[in-house]
Amino acid sequence: MRIAAHTLGCKLNYAETSDHLRRLSEEGNEIVDWSQLADLYLINTCTVTAVAEKKCRAVIRQAHRRNPEAQIVVMGCFAQTAAAEVAKIPGVTQVLGNEGKRLLSYSTVGNHSSAEGSARTRTFFKIQDGCDYFCTYCAIPYARGRSRSATVEETLCAARRIAASGAKEVVLTGINTGTFGQQRGESFLDLLRGLDQIESILRYRISSIEPNLLTDEIIDFVARSRAFLPHFHVPLQAGSDHVLRLMHRRYNTALYRDKVMKIKHSMPDACIAADVMAGFNGESEAEFRKAMEFIAGIPISYLHVFTYSDRPGTAALKLGEKVPVEVRHEHTARLLELSAEKHRQFIASQLGKVRPVLWEHTVHPSRTTHHAPLMEGWTDNYIRVQAPYDEARVNTVQQVTLERENITEEAASE
């Protein structure tokens, strides 16, 4: 059977999709690119915003148009929270929520579209699922359930299997990674210490961690560890204490600033990304200006910007005055402009420096240097660079001097 997959949403979804494709391939199925004709289309969905749900519907319809005779299996958060609606979309043959998924999964992807590729460079590793926080805007706890994880030792066993596959960089994923081990009397830091001892894995990234769970001990450990990289994704969501309280976030702007400054003190070249939401209910123009000033004043490297949309069943529906849709989009645009400027400043600060790059098995025939295909890789602090393709470099780490000519990184977008 020919199987194609498409993933929307977070890195945890990519990890889960790739794990399914690996298993399906082991059973003798042929994994093909999403753009190709397939007998079965696997779609992993997201419900974080109304825009995300709209994209999910569009992808399902795209698959049905491509092959009306194909099976379409829809899984993930949108499938969990709107199963009846998804089942009615023409072409859908099976709807799978998040129940029953394996908690521990490991999978290798060369990029975000396929599990194929001979070079195993980066792997998304699911270490935790679910969330107990119930932020007022978020439907994820209803879609994925309460926070849960395996033991440290069980997770390290899965990491050793990743190491045996040849992957050199592992991205730790989860819905709320910092809560790893809490229900068992263990901690996320316990896991990090164990992972750092698996020497055949050269690099680890923490995909996202809540600021209130990013302890000084974790920052200090990453700064002095063998393999954890100076790259942090620390959700902010709002740069206003008033809006953070409306969201039921478990920190304020002072704590967030302290964490960012601690990272930069310990790792001056660290890349720090932040999630920010535009147009949350009750966010006045004055509160938005506060947020812009706060973000401008801290050394973060770029933003992931989301436009707020109402989620059925969430507490945010009862909060404050709604921000007009056109104002939400205007605020999103202003945040994206700020992100682009932050990113330019970060890149400029790295020019002329020598950073370790893990080269991936990516070839771009359309991008040429004297008609030679190009390969790409990522620095430890998450700058994408390119060089003439050399198969001997694939899945190796090389010291590279950063110059404008070899940096291909683009600013983050919504």
The answer to whether residue 144 scores a pLDDT higher than 60 is yes
CATH fold label, 2-96: Rossmann fold (3.40.50)
Q: What percent of the chain has pLDDT over 70?
A: 91
Residue 299 is encoded by which pair of tokens?
């050394």
Report the pLDDT value the prediction gives residue 208, as an integer from 0 to 100: 92
Nearest CA among 18, 7, 282 for reference residue 125:
18
Looking at the chain, the domain(s) classified CATH 3.30.750.200 span: 263-350
CATH fold label, 263-350: Transcription Regulator spoIIAA (3.30.750)
Mean pLDDT to the nearest integer, 252-276: 98
CB 164 within 8 A of CB 108: no
325-350 vs 285-296: helix crossing angle, rounded to 10: 10
Report the pLDDT value the prediction gives residue 245, as an integer from 0 to 100: 97
Q: Determine the Cα–Cα distance for residues 136 and 247; give it in Å rounded to an integer.
A: 5
Q: Determine the Cα–Cα distance for residues 336 and 344; give it in Å rounded to an integer.
A: 12
Report the pLDDT value the prediction gives residue 402, as an integer from 0 to 100: 97
pLDDT tens for 301-342 read 999 999 998 888 889 999 878 999 999 999 999 999 999 999
Residue 276 is encoded by which pair of tokens?
């920010």
What residues contact residue 192 under an 8 Å CB cut-off, 6+ apart?
204, 218, 221, 222, 225, 228
Looking at the chain, the domain(s) classified CATH 3.40.50.12160 span: 2-96
216-224 vs 188-195: helix crossing angle, rounded to 10: 10
Report the pLDDT value the prediction gives residue 291, as an integer from 0 to 100: 97
Report the pLDDT value the prediction gives residue 234, as an integer from 0 to 100: 97
The answer to whether residue 408 scores a pLDDT higher than 90 is no
Report the pLDDT value the prediction gives residue 159, as an integer from 0 to 100: 94
Report the pLDDT value the prediction gives residue 373, as an integer from 0 to 100: 87
Mapping DSSP onto H, E and C, the string for the chain reads CEEEEEECCCHHHHHHHHHHHHHHHHCCCEECCCCCCCCEEEEEECCCCHHHHHHHHHHHHHHHHHCCCCEEEEEEHHHHHCHHHHHCCCCEEEEECCCCCCCCEEEEECCCCCCCCCCCCEEEEECCECCCCCCCCCCHHHHHCCCECCCHHHHHHHHHHHHHHCCCEEEEECCCHHHCCHHHCCCHHHHHHHHCCCCCCCEEEECCCCCCCCCHHHHHHHHHCCCECCEEECCCECCCHHHHHHHCCCCCHHHHHHHHHHHHHHCCCCEEEEEEEECCCCCCHHHHHHHHHHHHCCCCCEEEEEECCCCCCCHHHHCCCCCCHHHHHHHHHHHHHHHHHHHHHHHHHHCCCEEEEEECCCCEEEEEECCEEEEEEEECCCCEEEEECCHHHCCCEEEEECCHHHECCCCCCC
Q: Determine the Cα–Cα distance for residues 169 and 176; give it in Å rounded to an integer.
A: 21
Q: Determine the Cα–Cα distance for residues 352 and 365; give it in Å rounded to an integer.
A: 27
